[in-house]
Chains A and B, each alone.
Chain A
Amino acid sequence: MKQSELYKIIGKLTQSVNEVDALIASGKTDLTIDLSACTFISVEGLEWLEEMLMRANSHQAKVKFVNIPTTIYKVFKVAHIDNILEACGSAKPTGRDATTC
């Protein structure tokens, strides 16, 4: 069974985070990313998260995001990136044509 690490992102997430990339590359650990202190995420930050999750998946490492501030969660929701939403434990966005009123 893999060990699990907790990593906390503090401040603005505007580029890749080497420590996280290293943990993923090691293939030895699942990862919990605490976003409670994340104040802003840029396009580059989003792109890194998506790409990091893809790498984690190829290493069979599980990554989950916890303590997500609403502003950051809204960015994830609007961005419509499936693997990020899955890491949040959130369902994929669904179409709106199921019901009308």
Chain B
Amino acid sequence: MVAVINDQDIALNERVNNLVRRARLAAAVFTQYSQEQVDAIVKAMTLAAIGAAQKLAIAAREETKMGLVEDKILKNLVASEFHYYQIKDKRTVGIIREFPEDNMVEVAEPVGVIVALSPVTNPTSTIIFKSIAAAKTRNSIIFSPHLMAADSSNLAAKILYEAAIQAGAPKDFITWIEKSPRLRRMTELMMVHKEVDLIFATGGTQMVKAAYSSGKPALGVGSGNTPVYVHKSAAVLSAAMDIIISKTFDNGTECPSEQTLIIDAGVADQLLAEFKRLGCYICSLDEVEKVADVAIDPHRGGMNYKLVGQPAYIIAEQAGLCVPKETKILLCPLTGELRHHKLAVEKLMPVLGYVIVDSVQEGINRSLDINYTGGTGHTAGIFAEDDEVVERFADAINAGRVIVNCPTSIGGLGGVYNNLDTTLVFGCGTGGGNITTDNVGIKNLLNYKRVPKRSNFTLTFKTTKNIYINPGSIDHLRSLKTKRAFVVTSRSAATRGHLSLILERLAPDCRVNVFSDISVEPDFGTIQAAIEMMRKAQPDTIIALGGGSVLDAAKIMRLFYDSPQLKLEEVAVNFLDFRHRLAVFPQKSNTQLVAIPTTSGTGSEVTPFAVFKDKVSHQKVSLIDECLLPDVAILDANLTKSLPQDITVDTAFDALTHALESLVSTLASDYTDGLALEAIRLIFEALPEVLKNGSNVLWRHKLHNAACLAGMAIGNASVGVNHALAHSLGAYFNISHGKANSVFLLSTIAYNSKIPHKFMAVSSYPLWVADQKYARAAQFLNLTAAEIQNNKTDTTSQTKYEGLVTALRQAIYDLAITANQPKSIAELGITEEDFKQAFPELVRLAFEDMSLRTNPSCPLVDDIEQLFIESYPPRQRPS
């Protein structure tokens, strides 16, 4: 809303500025008050309001000529006594709520200066309610009363303010605009004043609209049009009395009051007879027209404001009807298209429409007709003992309050007939153009400061329960409890004689099936074929014999064999945080899984990971869950003696990458660090010896252990950017995992050991220490810091550990030379042309890889590109 200010407004502006400034200072001073001080003030105000309830009710009735003194007294008491009862123990200062499980508290902050509009229908109770709410929340409040009720409203404000001041409240925390012809203009100016923080509007539609248009935060109410459905299961006689109580309350001025009854045919006669017996007048169809002519303004189609809050006989008299003076309500049957009936609107007077329906569906639909004729979001009512009907009604109706088996007017106020929050301000949600459907109160007059403390990721350490580690340990199979074993392996296992070593150790009465079609990085189709075979064989144990691909495939087979209802697309979902991931895995496995690695690389026998290749997307798909952990791992180095040298080197570099990446991972812990460091040491020690003599079982054993230790480390700390790059390159160019890892190692260590371009936002990683970790690995290998060339121009990303990090990179370079392992993409035989062509896709695949999530630096797309580019050309020894 834009307030146009002209010369005539200057004096008004001064008055407005003065009021707002006084309120602003009071709000500032109020910030110092404690809960105890506030509660004492609120109590004093409440006592004053209770004491003045009758006086104020009389003043309101005399000034407005609306409603009933007796009911206005009740409203004043609801706004004071009931309101106080509900809020007296509520905290509104300092910490007001604690969430120990979330490590968080809420602290209250007052909203500041409130401009509050009050209506003609509730001129004193609204003031009482809002004054007490403002005090409880340490806000200052400026009242803009309705012109027709300003004297009584301001009297209420004055009485409460004086009581508050006596109790120690800040001067001027309640102020009001005096009754004058310029009251409305002052209100308009106030609503756009820069020092006003919130508009709390209860009043005519125009004023509420103006409040919402002011550009200020506003709490407003929408218009009502309350449908009340009387279901055949209702207690009819008490429903009739409740409706009369409600619709006659203050002569119908309460906006939640009943406007149209929707009555089940089965109880209609009884209900109408009871209404008649209790003093209501049931109009004929001709009389309905006459009532509508006076109750509804023909120009606007809304209620005739001159009859708001008038008794039934006055309305009847104006309509030309002759009814007894004590008539409580004029009941009007609404015929024809309900939505278009003149009386199907809000009528804040004792005129009540009704329709008769034949079914619950029709009852709810007709209720919706009324609800959606200007009353969405406000209030609805139902009388029914059938909870299912109540639920259907509540589900369909758009109302902030669905009042059950109570008068809707007093029921909507809260606290008298139910446990709704007591209010004189009925939020109508978006249905009524409001921000809330609450019974508005103190909770809406506070800013909530959430104070969450850092939640730490609970690190755990999990691995395979039983690990047999000595050469010759496959003999454990002789004691394996199984009646039906299913061996998953590769063709090479058979040719290398491993399969027969397994089979001859299983019990003679064990029925064994073998699936030996697992190739390197199998696709899901191969895995499904094995699962089909399993369903026929019904194994109680799966024995996975082979390299990482075989072990991973066996893990996936067991998962889908045990849980056939699982869908791959639902468990292979990427995630940012393990704790919040969408994938749901089974809690336990029924089938025993025994993993017997025949290479010293992946460590799959002790990890909760399983990877397969999607041949359509060229991507590697990872499943991650502890249910994938094998039950038994048998590490028998004898099975690796015949491993070809290139595969030995390849898998050893895979294990080395695992150890190095888990060491610097954001999930690394003291537990995984120890495993990673020892794995690194063993690989540097054992691999050269194995290369000299591949059949030396002692060094094979050490290498086997190193791969397993590194597997435990990544099983708990995961990997990083090196794996993301390797997954991408390997999937695209069909490169073995170990080689794909090797070609990036020197670059990723250099990258991770520099101060990151972007830090990784992980609560469990409070300090970037990747450079220290690499340095520690170098020290663990007894390396000394390399001399660093000083001709570098960019020294911003150098750290004091750079010498040791370089020494580590040199050692890895030297190991790769010794082992004849490629150190760059070019060495894999990928032409520069093919690499350039694949480059965008490689970057995309790497950037999507979940391995990045635990890298100590947060890799940007530019970083990924640079790592690919750096890793292409043949390398020089790091310096």
Contact = CB atoms under 8 A, between A and B. Distances in A.
Contacts of A71: 31-32
Interface stretch (B19-27, B304-312, B557-565): B19-27
A27 B557 CA distance: 92
B668 to A, nearest CB: 34
B353 interface: no
B31 A42 contact: no
Contacts of A74: 28, 31-32
B171 interface: yes
B32 A43 contact: no
B28 A78 contact: yes
B93 to A, nearest CB: 12
A41 B26 CA distance: 11
Interface size class of B (residues with CB under 8 A): 10 to 19
Nearest to A39: B32
In this complex, which of A76, A77, A78 has the most chain B Cβ atoms within 10 angstroms of its Cβ? A78
B597 interface: no
A42 B172 CA distance: 11
B170 interface: yes
A75 B170 CA distance: 12
A43 B32 CA distance: 12
Nearest to B33: A40
Given A46-B25, A47-B25, A79-B25, A41 B31 contact: no
Nearest to B112: A78
Given A42-B171, A43-B172, A80 B32 contact: no
A66 to B, nearest CB: 20
Interface string A68-94: 000110111111110000000000000
A94 to B, nearest CB: 12
B287 interface: no
A95 B189 CA distance: 19
B31 A43 contact: no
B195 A46 contact: no
Contacts of A51: none
A71 B22 CA distance: 20
A43 B171 CA distance: 6
B12 interface: no
Interface string A60-72: 0000000000011
Interface in B23-58: 24-29, 31-32
In this complex, which of B28, B31, B170 has the most chain A Cβ atoms within 10 angstroms of its Cβ? B28
A78 B171 contact: no
B418 to A, nearest CB: 38
Given A79-B24, A80-B195, A46 B31 contact: no
In this complex, which of B22, B26, B31, B195 has the most chain A Cβ atoms within 10 angstroms of its Cβ? B31
A43 B195 contact: no
A46 B29 contact: yes
A79 B24 CA distance: 6
B112 A43 contact: no
Contacts of B32: 40-41, 71-72, 74-75
Contacts of A42: 29, 170-171
A5 interface: no
A4 B476 CA distance: 92
A45 to B, nearest CB: 8
Given A42-B170, A43-B171, A80-B195, A75 B24 contact: no
B29 A41 contact: yes
Contacts of A21: none
A80 B29 contact: no
Contacts of A41: 29, 32
Nearest to A42: B29
Contacts of B26: 43
A80 to B, nearest CB: 6
Interface string A15-54: 0000000000000000000000000111110110000000
A62 to B, nearest CB: 24
Nearest to A47: B25
In this complex, which of B26, B32, B172, B195 has the most chain A Cβ atoms within 10 angstroms of its Cβ? B32
Interface string B192-215: 000100000000000000000000
A77 B31 CA distance: 11
B31 A75 contact: yes
15 contacts: A40-B32, A41-B32, A43-B22, A43-B25, A43-B26, A43-B171, A44-B171, A46-B25, A46-B28, A46-B29, A75-B31, A78-B27, A79-B24, A79-B29, A81-B25
Q: Which 8 A-B pairs have the closest CB atoms?
A: A79-B28, A78-B28, A43-B171, A75-B28, A43-B25, A43-B29, A46-B25, A71-B32
